[in-house]
Amino acid sequence: MPPASFTLCDDVRDARSPVVVAARRTPVGTAGRSLAAYDVTALSVPVLRALVSDLASDPADAAGHVPVDEVVLGNCMGPGGDPARVAALAAGLGLNVPGVTLDRQCGSGLEAIAQAATHVAVAGGVVLAGGVESASTAPTRLALLPDGRREPYDRARFAPDEYGDPGMGEAADALATARGITRERQDAYAARSHALAVAAQATGVFEPELVAVGAVKADERPRPGLDGARLARFRPAFTPDGTATAGNSCGISDGAAAVAVVDEATRAHLGLPGLAVRAVAAIGVDPRLPGLGPVPAVQAVLDVCGLSIADVGALEITEAFAAQVLASTDAWGLDPLGGPGEQVVCTQGGAIALGHPWGASGALLVVRLFSRMVRQDGPRYGVATCAVGGGQGVALLVERVG
């Protein structure tokens, strides 16, 4: 198995160890609805500003702000032109603050945080990193046909023809078949996601991490009372005999999420608790079954730190499809439906309930870990992981410090 691309375990921690000390996100809106009027810049700016405010010794004193060295944002379907740099300028971070935008599809936000951690480990400083997606304002793209005509297309290729280039929904159906994951289990997991997210909303769990966008202050997708009986009425969404439906899959969404990554010396100076980034990994898998990507990626970050899945007290995985979540949790021996893993995996809901703003979703996982582990004084170790179209898995392992 390839090694993790970056590690900072017990024997190599120092003043430049990267630590997440602030984490914010917008509400997640269903495409075409509550956030439809906001492009990627308008979604990113309030999150970046909130992070800067969180780092300030006195939020009312601009001179007390910690200077930002870099902005890294993931984005999949946006306008191009380096949205991270545009957002950094629009947020008023200063002309000297650079920005870079990257694309690892729905792992983009998590990859951005991994790159921020690497930057801090090498050079120290403060990096704001995360992701943003506005499916509502994404430009129409045109594919060139063999006869020279052009026509709109929904997505770029995930893999060459010899791998079949399946869409993520078709791949989720194939994975469910390959791993024997029933429709009933998928619906039960989807019902769990909505129930947990609704409960978290009702008790104000999300409020400390949320940044309002205009009048939008809350996630719009979680649905109360969405049980297995109601979910069973949904028809297959991707293949005629498939088990992935609109009910047990994520929604196409708009939103932004980001974190502040600083070196350990800066964290100690600020006196903030945080999540020390101990390892990150990105690993390729069969493009036909991309939903299995988290399995080797998580194993890689555990191995380099000498840990096992039993040491992980909080695990956030992008719930693009219930089938891919269950395939991964089965491989780890974690059952989120009443067994080991119920108090570990996405315990306040995930993308099935909240939505999946592609470029932002990986960063949203780390925001959720920050809330569970730091704001709520949670477990020592946590993992964020996601499956990526084209057959990749990304994982990040963090430890609560301070």
What are the catalytic residues?
Answer: 106, 356
According to DSSP, the residues that pair with 372 across neighbouring strands are none
